[in-house]
Amino acid sequence: GKVVASAGPEHVWKIHDAYRKSDGKEVSVFVFEKRSAEKLHKPKRKETVTELLRGSVRQLERFRHPKVLQVHHPIEECNDTLAFASEPVLASLANILAFQEPSQVGPPATGASQHPP
């Protein structure tokens, strides 16, 4: 599917809309292209960055909590990419904050007076 969002350090995970083959349910597929690590860091660090991301996803796979992203398909790796599938995701927090209008930045209005009585 198309890329709908990005996530992770320096937005290295590209999030795609997809459907699970077994039952047709919506999922999000997170894809990390290893060559992007070469652009962001020294080529020697490519494996370090890849290992960090791989380990982070493996930890996420172990969590079972309604407030934590649920992994539906464990991480898979090939020469060029890392990928895993999760419950559907609309955007990352970083994506949402990037699209927020500048006038909306700051604490939300509560209607309460800023001055003590």
Tell me how far apart the terminal alpha carbons of the chain are, to the nearest angstrom. 56
> Mind listing the pLDDT tens digit for each residue in 47-102?
888 999 999 999 999 999 999 999 999 999 999 999 999 999 999 998 998 887 56
Q: Where are the domains of the chain?
A: 3-93
β-strand partners of 30: 15, 84
- Which own/partner pairs from 56-59 qualify as long-range (CB within 8 Å, at least 24 positions apart)? 57/30, 57/82, 57/84
Full-model pTM:
0.80
pLDDT confidence bin for 103, thresholds 50/70/90: low
φ, ψ of residue 20 in degrees (nearest 5): -70, 130
More confident: 106 or 12: 12
CA dihedral (16, 73, 95, 11) in degrees, to 10, reads -90
Topology (CATH level 3) of domain 3-93: Phosphorylase Kinase; domain 1 (3.30.200)
pLDDT at residue 6 tops 90: yes
